[in-house]
Structure 1
Amino acid sequence: MINIQNITVQFGEKKVLNDISITFEQGELIGLVAPNGTGKSTLMNVLMNYLQPTSGKVIFDKGLSYSSKSNEVKIHQFVSMMPDQSDLYNHLSGREHLKMFATMWKSDMKLIDETIEALNMGHYVNKKTGTYSLGMRQRLCFAMQIVANTEIMMMDEVMNGLDPNNVEVISKILMKKKAEGKMIIIASHLLDNLEKYADRIFLFSEGKLVDANLIVNGFSEASIKTIRVKKMPEDTREQMKQVYPELKFETLVNDMTLIHLPSSEATRLSDLTAFLVDKQMNDFAFGKVTLNDLYAMYYHEIV
């Protein structure tokens, strides 16, 4: 458990984090989404005590907080943050890095070979990391945190530089760790993947955490709430508004029009389909507002 109490981080006149209070529980996968420079990494650094907040405190299980160096040592026995590629030693092999992390966190050495196999690292893990590609280095950084096997894991852009196959492999490992009761906090720009697996997703606004469900009511529910239409002409949109005045329309920066439905009865969906097809609007889909849509709505940009 992490209980964040009134955390503020201020640099000069700018409040990067502004009086944040929230609790994260074990067994949750938390997604943090925002443009660069809005507070994602700052929040993680506060949770790790790499950065001391201007005010507020972070409380862990059994009331532990960063009130002393001895407490920090205790907390870092069950809290870890995925290393950065710049933290790797080019003269050491991947396996040596994994042994180092397993030893530091006193975890089961069997995890090393299990993780190497799960991440398909066997053909290069014994080579020096100075010979690795960016994708290989990223997989190693992820593997190092997995073998540490802490109860709370934090990851900043864990999927950077990975191809779709490796993204899927890492996602499955994350779900396995979540099922084991780990708390996983991920800051990511891979929104499709994050939306698929996260229990709760938060965006940042003026230093505050904003639950995605407060931006779009029922965002996390798997139900038909929206029609997504690509490149809908203005005249077609105006005609549809006249025929269906109860609908709410929203056009995003990527030229996607969202039509929000007050209800999703079969008759209504059939009528709307017929209208769009009649207007030769064939590139549309029924579903829910996606995380990519939400990002574009909230930040007026696309990723």
Structure 2
Amino acid sequence: MSAPTLVVEGLTKQFGPLRAVDDLSFEVRPGAVTGFLGPNGAGKTTTLRMLLGLTRATAGRALVGDRPYVEHERPARVVGAALEASSFHPGRTGLAHLQVFAPQVGVSKARCAEVLEAVGMGHAAKQRVGKYSMGMRQRLGLATALLTDPPVIVLDEPTNGLDPEGIVWIRGLLRTFAAEGRTVLVSSHLLREVEASVDDVVVIAHGRLRHASPLAGLRAQATPATYVESPRLDAVTALAADRGWTVAPDGAGLLVEGGTAAEIGGGAHAAGIELHQLVSRDADLESIFLELTRTEGGQR
């Protein structure tokens, strides 16, 4: 089965006076990892629950391919999802948890052991879930999502509770899924947790779309910054003022914001200003993310 596109169109959810999701529209393409980003309470989990038919939308629709999730003949074979790492019976073993689901989704008991090994939980297969750490529960949730080897993977905050090694591991796993042509949607309230693994980003705040693009499109929103060292920093400052760039002291040099290395180098050459260092600084994506999710009144 080729992986379907996920389509969210005008999705809205009202809980009494609270509008948790507000006219939200975006798409998630196959062959890519899409980061679904926003602060806690932004409406991410509610959106994912509507996508999976667990919560009824007030308005709009969410499609897996050409139809809602629940209208697929065998939805669990199309989408593998892990929304909560705490929804396990504490008295069951990890293996028993998967074996409860196996007949419902049409997979063998052997597959249960196979996916536990795949997520690094083979050693804890016969340990009761009540004894699992948060990170182990995350891995068990992922194993549940992978039972049917689905073409679509939806994960809600999958790095919560993972140690640094676990975070690196899941990043690599997400990249593998995308390379296989699957559609991968991963929510997070921390851009830095998913920045190394995503291709596309969808940013929401207060239930509304703030930004949707490839990751490079988010980087393009950053103000360029360049570190400059020169024996004539006063002349560099004057050049920046003339071009409308801002400068700030930075160690032995200046940080020039608003001008690229090429623009500053060209301007300095034309003005006869000697430069000793000219280094582009990477965009601070976290600052862009915080600005996108800031409320109109300046509070986050």
TM-score, with length taken from structure 1:
0.74
Q: Deviations over 1:31-60 (max 9, x none)?
A: 111111111111111101111111112233
Matched, 1:243 2:247: no
TM-score, with length taken from structure 2:
0.75
Partner amino acid, structure 2, of 1:64: R
Matched, 1:291 2:285: yes
Matched, 1:261 2:259: yes
Q: For residue 55 of structure 1, what is the aligned residue in structure 2?
A: 59
- CA distance in 2 between counterparts of 1:258 and 1:45 reads 45
Partner amino acid, structure 1, of 2:41: G
Q: Are the counterparts in 2 of residues 18 and 207 from structure 1 also a CA contact under 8 Å? A: yes
Q: For residue 129 of structure 2, what is the aligned residue in structure 1?
A: 129
Shift in Å at residue 108 of structure 1? 6.6
Shift in Å at residue 138 of structure 1? 1.9
| Greater alpha carbon shift after TM alignment, 85-94 vs 98-107 | 98-107
Larger Rg: 2
Q: For residue 68 of structure 2, what is the aligned residue in structure 1?
A: 65
Shift in Å at residue 129 of structure 1? 1.1
Q: Deviations over 1:14-36 (max 9, x none)?
A: 43222223332222211111111
Secondary structure, aligned partner of 1:86:
coil
| Residues 138 and 207 of structure 1: CA distance in aligned 2, closer, same or farther (over 3 Å) | closer
- CA distance in 2 between counterparts of 1:177 and 1:53 reads 29
- Candidates 221, 224, 227, aligned match of 2:225: 227
Q: Are the counterparts in 1 of residues 34 and 184 from structure 2 also a CA contact under 8 Å? A: yes
Secondary structure, aligned partner of 2:8:
strand
Q: Are the counterparts in 1 of residues 239 and 268 from structure 2 also a CA contact under 8 Å? A: no
| Greater alpha carbon shift after TM alignment, 93-102 vs 259-268 | 259-268
Q: Are the counterparts in 1 of residues 224 and 283 from structure 2 also a CA contact under 8 Å? A: yes
Q: Deviations over 1:140-182 (max 9, x none)?
A: 1122212342222211110001111011111111211222222
| Residues 38 and 225 of structure 1: CA distance in aligned 2, closer, same or farther (over 3 Å) | closer
Identity percentage over the alignment? Answer: 24
Q: Are the counterparts in 2 of residues 225 and 288 from structure 1 also a CA contact under 8 Å? A: no
Shift in Å at residue 226 of structure 1? 3.1
Consecutive unaligned residues of structure 1, counting only runs of 5 or more, are 230-237, 252-256, 278-284
Superposed CA RMSD in Å reads: 3.9
Secondary structure, aligned partner of 2:210:
strand
Secondary structure, aligned partner of 2:195:
helix
Number of matched pairs: 276
Q: For residue 95 of structure 1, what is the aligned residue in structure 2?
A: 95
Q: Are the counterparts in 2 of residues 156 and 186 from structure 1 also a CA contact under 8 Å? A: yes
| Residues 248 and 80 of structure 1: CA distance in aligned 2, closer, same or farther (over 3 Å) | farther
Consecutive unaligned residues of structure 2, counting only runs of 5 or more, are 228-233, 249-254
Q: For residue 281 of structure 1, what is the aligned residue in structure 2?
A: none
User: Which residues in structure 2 correspond to 1:1-303 (within 5 Å)?
Assistant: 1-61=5-65, 63-65=66-68, 71=71, 74-107=74-107, 111-211=111-211, 213=213, 218-220=217-219, 226-227=224-225, 242-245=238-241, 246=243, 248=245, 259-262=257-260, 264=262, 267=265, 286-299=280-293
| Residues 247 and 296 of structure 1: CA distance in aligned 2, closer, same or farther (over 3 Å) | farther
